[in-house]
Structure 1
Amino acid sequence: MEQTQGAGVHVLWRWQDWEDRYRGRYAVVIDVLRATTTLITVLARGAEAVLPVAGLEEARALARSRPGWLLGGERDNVAPPGFDGGNSPADYPPERVAGRRLVFTTTNGTRALDRVRTGGAATVALGALVNAGAVARAARASGRPAVLVCAGTEGVLSLEDVLAAGAMARYWPPEARSDEAQLAAWAYERMQADLPRALNLARHAASLRARGLEADIGWAAREDLFDLVPVVGTQGWITAGL
């Protein structure tokens, strides 16, 4: 595994655990099922930029204000009425998103991004299994302490996010990992041989299967699919980064 120089790494199990003491750190927001997985995929397929928005009506108003902007996201795993797509990577093929901007809102993931962005992180990057190696290398290369922020589900820990955090935490030596980062790395190492099965054990995966979204789980389990590190800019827009 490639190693670079840098400070230590910590893991938060839920975005609600972000505190002022994490200001100035390199933050990676992780929502494997499905927001960060989908947004990383959208940018890898050529979208110009994505704007995560916490509120449904705010997202609708922004999309209406600019002809040509796409509107995507979900509530209860379903695209709201009038949206161009949901929270599934399959909704955003390259021919649809290339060169375009997307306003995006979800039940939990975009709230996590908003909390960390407004909470004083020096950098806010998007992470998931699909770009775990790339974002971990970028975080280490920054030279700042890193905090891997799991989105969680309904305010509690999510297995899929912990596994992605563990895949990233392994890029730091054990002595540079917090106890939480070490636990995440151990969990990943225990389950890395069959990540699709591991993700299907997660509580949130059951609700996706009930909606017929099994393919999204399989896509989210594809580790290091993209060499891409999306970063949130000063105006809140996310661009492809590395």
Structure 2
Amino acid sequence: MNIDVIFSANEVTKDRVEGKIVVVIDVLRATSVMLTAMNNGAVEIRPFKEINKLISYTKDLKGILRCGERNGTKIVGFDLGNSPLEYKSEIVHGKIICMTTSNGTNALVNSSYGKKIFIGSFFNLDLLCKKINEIGEDLVIVCAGTNGEFSLDDSLCAGEIVKRLEYRTLSDSARAMYMIASIPGTLKDKLKETKHYNFLKELGEVKDLENCFSVDSQNIILEYRDGIIKKYEE
């Protein structure tokens, strides 16, 4: 298994992901939201890169929730923002979620040429890595990053995935993430001085930060296929 890591949504190209297994990560917070929503009974999630396209698509639809953020803040007129804690079962159960975020949904849509595209965060590391080991094919981990830049929270999660995989040949970027993830310390200790962590802290999202670092708290695998995120089925 060859493993590569891409550091931002803007760096994803067809030739780097085509024919490969892809895991898309946006720890803070889009993929953590997606996992939580589906874990709490949402039917499916439809990601969009642009706000206007989402609004146009959902204009005449019922039973859907418009969700997402720009610059960390819920989009005006939308039902939910980008906090996993908002996506409670009594709100999302049985609903179709249409979602757009600053980075995570871009990373997903840009990765559409992958052979299989999984959703990753700290929430589902164990189950997801077991499945990837079982498949045993070349893997690209796509970190959403922040506005086209490297973001340590996503990359640290990528390193944790690399650590748990077997029979691997690593690109330099994957090896670097493995080394970062192998440094002793808690996730909070490693990330508390980072730009995105402190941006969310300034927005008052401390509970989100604590929640998003809950390793292996969910027993779920999601796949993005044909423009829709659903629970993975063999």
TM over 0.5: yes
Whether 2:2 is the aligned partner of 1:8: answer yes
Distance 1:103 1:44 in 2: 16
2:52 partner letter = E
Q: Which amino acid aligns with 1:50?
A: I
Query: CA offset at residue 16 of structure 1?
Result: 2.2
Tell me the amino acid that sits aligned with residue 133 of structure 2.
R
Aligned residues: 232
Matched, 1:72 2:72: no
Matched, 1:95 2:87: no
2:15 is aligned with 1:24: no
Q: Find 1:237's aligned residue among 206, 223, 228.
A: 228
SS across alignment from 1:50:
strand
Task: Pick from 178, 184, 197 the counterpart of residue 205 of structure 1.
Answer: 197
Partner amino acid for 1:13? F
Q: Which structure 2 segments of 5+ residues have no match?
A: none
Matched position secondary structure for 1:152 = coil
Q: Which residue of structure 1 lines up, in the alignment, with residue 160 of structure 2?
A: 167
Paired residue type of 1:190 = I
Matched-pair contact (CA < 8 Å) for 2:133–2:166: no
Matched, 1:35 2:30: yes
The one-letter amino acid paired with 1:26 is I
Secondary structure class of the residue paired with 1:168: helix
Structure 1 residue 63, shift from structure 2 partner: 2.6
Distance 2:16 2:214 in 1: 33
Q: CA deviation at 1:174?
A: 7.4
Q: Aligned to 1:33, what secondary structure does the other structure show?
A: coil
Greater strand content: 2
Secondary structure of the residue aligned to 1:190 is: coil
Amino acid aligned to 1:9? I
Shift of residue 211, structure 1, vs aligned partner: 1.0
Shift of 1:160: 0.3
Paired residue secondary structure (2:124): helix
**TM-score, length basis structure 2:** 0.94
Q: Work out the CA distance in 2 between the residues paired with 1:34 and 1:222.
A: 13
In structure 1, how many angstroms separate the alpha carbons of the residues matched to 2:17 and 2:225? 18
Please report the RMSD computed on the Cα atoms of aligned residues, expressed in angstroms: 1.5
Please list, as runs of the form range in 1=range in 2, the aligned pairs for 1:34-183 lying within 5 A after superposition: 34-117=29-112, 120-173=113-166, 176-183=169-176
Query: What is the aligned partner in structure 2 of residue 194 from structure 1?
Result: 186
- Please give the alpha-carbon distance, in whole angstroms, between the structure 1 residues aligned to 2:22 and 2:140: 5
1:47 and 1:84 map into 2 onto residues whose CA distance is: 14
Q: What is the alpha-carbon distance in structure 2 between the residues aligned to residue 123 and residue 106 of structure 1?
A: 22
CA distance in 2, matches of 1:226, 1:127: 11
Aligned to 1:4: none
Q: Percent identity, aligned pairs only? A: 29
SS in 1 for 2:132: helix
Query: For the residues of structure 2 that align with 1:135 and 1:101, how far apart are their CA atoms?
Result: 23
Q: What SS is found at the alignment partner of 2:76? A: coil
Give me the TM-score of the superposition, normalised by structure 1: 0.91
Q: Are 1:9 and 1:172, in contact at CA under 8 Å, matched by a contact in 2?
A: no
After superposition, what is the alpha-carbon deviation per residue over 1:51-73, rounded to whole angstroms, capped at 9, x for unaligned? 01111011122233211201100
The separation in 2 between residues aligned to 1:23 and 1:155, in whole angstroms, is: 21
